[in-house]
A and B are shown apart, each in its own frame.
Chain A
Amino acid sequence: MHYTFDFGWLLEYWPVLLKGIGITVELTLVGGVLGVSLGVACAWARALGPGWLRPIVTAYVEMIRNTPFLIQLFFIFFGLPALGIRMNELEAANLAMVINLGAYGCEIIRAGIQATPKGQFEAGASLGMSRIQTFWHVILIPALQRIWPALSSQIVIVMLGSAAVSQIAAEDLTFAANFIQSRTFRAFEAYFVTTLIYLALAVLLRQLLRGVGWTIFPRRGAASRAR
Chain B
Amino acid sequence: MSLIEITEVKKRFGDNEVLKGINIDVEPGEVIAIIGKSGSGKSTLLRCINGLETIDDGSISVAGAQLLPDEIHLKALRLKVGMIFQQFNLFPHLTAGRNVMLSQMVVKKTPRGEAEAMAKKMLERVGLGHKFDAYPDELSGGQQQRVAIARALAMQPIALLCDEITSALDPELVNEVLAVVKELASEGMTLLMVTHEMRFARDVCSRVVFMHQGRVHEIGPPGEVFAEPRTPELKQFLGML
A226 at the interface (CB under 8 A from B): yes
The answer to whether B136 and A226 have CB atoms under 8 Å apart is yes
A2 at the interface (CB under 8 A from B): no
In-complex Cβ contact of B93 among A123, A124, A130, A141 (8 A)? A141
- Contact flag A123-B91 (CB < 8 Å), given A128-B107, A130-B71: yes
For residue B90, which residues in chain A have a CB less than 8 angstroms away from its CB? 123, 226
The answer to whether A128 and B91 have CB atoms under 8 Å apart is no
Complex Cα–Cα for A133 and B79 (A): 15
Of B19-27, B56-64, B81-89, B228-236, the stretch lying at the interface with chain A is: B81-89
In-complex Cβ contact of B52 among A120, A125, A142 (8 A)? A125
- Contact flag A127-B137 (CB < 8 Å), given A137-B106, A218-B93, A219-B92: no
A118 to chain B, nearest CB (A): 9
Against A, the Cβ 8 Å flags (1 = close, 0 = not) of B63-106 are 00000000100110011001101010111110000000011001
Chain A: interface residue count, which band?
20 to 34
For residue A218, which residues in chain B have a CB less than 8 angstroms away from its CB? 93, 135
In-complex Cβ contact of B83 among A126, A221, A226 (8 A)? A126
Complex Cα–Cα for A166 and B239 (A): 79
A223 at the interface (CB under 8 A from B): yes
The answer to whether B50 and A142 have CB atoms under 8 Å apart is no
Chain B: interface residue count, which band?
20 to 34
Against B, the Cβ 8 Å flags (1 = close, 0 = not) of A115-139 are 0010110111111111001000110
- Contact flag A119-B87 (CB < 8 Å), given A127-B103, A128-B75: yes
Complex Cα–Cα for A217 and B135 (A): 12
The answer to whether A223 and B106 have CB atoms under 8 Å apart is no
A56 at the interface (CB under 8 A from B): no
A150 at the interface (CB under 8 A from B): no
In-complex Cβ contact of B78 among A128, A217, A223, A226 (8 A)? A128
- Contact flag A145-B91 (CB < 8 Å), given A125-B52, A127-B152: no
For residue A225, which residues in chain B have a CB less than 8 angstroms away from its CB? 92, 137
The answer to whether B103 and A128 have CB atoms under 8 Å apart is yes
A150-191 contacts to B, CB under 8 A, are: none
For residue B92, which residues in chain A have a CB less than 8 angstroms away from its CB? 142, 219, 222-223, 225-226
B190 to chain A, nearest CB (A): 16
The answer to whether B106 and A133 have CB atoms under 8 Å apart is yes
| Secondary structure type dominating chain A contacts | helix
For residue B136, which residues in chain A have a CB less than 8 angstroms away from its CB? 222, 226
For residue A120, which residues in chain B have a CB less than 8 angstroms away from its CB? 89, 91
The answer to whether B52 and A133 have CB atoms under 8 Å apart is no
B33 at the interface (CB under 8 A from A): no
Complex Cα–Cα for A159 and B92 (A): 32
For residue A141, which residues in chain B have a CB less than 8 angstroms away from its CB? 93
B151 at the interface (CB under 8 A from A): yes
- Contact flag A119-B89 (CB < 8 Å), given A129-B106, A219-B137, A222-B137: yes
Complex Cα–Cα for A141 and B93 (A): 7
B122 at the interface (CB under 8 A from A): no
Complex Cα–Cα for A114 and B142 (A): 28
- Contact flag A222-B135 (CB < 8 Å), given A127-B155, A128-B155, A133-B107: yes
Complex Cα–Cα for A70 and B148 (A): 51
- Which residues of A are interface residues toward B (Cβ below 8 A)? 117, 119-120, 122-130, 133, 137-138, 141-142, 145, 217-219, 221-223, 225-227
User: Could you name 28 residue pairs across A and B whose Cβ atoms are closer than 8 Å?
Assistant: A119-B85, A119-B87, A120-B89, A122-B83, A123-B85, A125-B51, A125-B52, A125-B74, A125-B78, A126-B50, A126-B152, A127-B151, A127-B152, A127-B155, A128-B79, A129-B103, A129-B106, A130-B75, A138-B91, A141-B93, A142-B91, A142-B93, A218-B93, A219-B92, A219-B93, A222-B136, A226-B90, A226-B92
3 tightest A-B contacts by CB? A127-B103, A123-B89, A226-B92
Known: A117-B87, A127-B102, A137-B91. 18 other contacts (CB 8 A): A119-B85, A119-B89, A123-B90, A125-B51, A126-B50, A126-B78, A126-B85, A127-B107, A128-B75, A128-B78, A129-B106, A145-B93, A217-B93, A222-B135, A222-B136, A222-B137, A223-B92, A226-B137
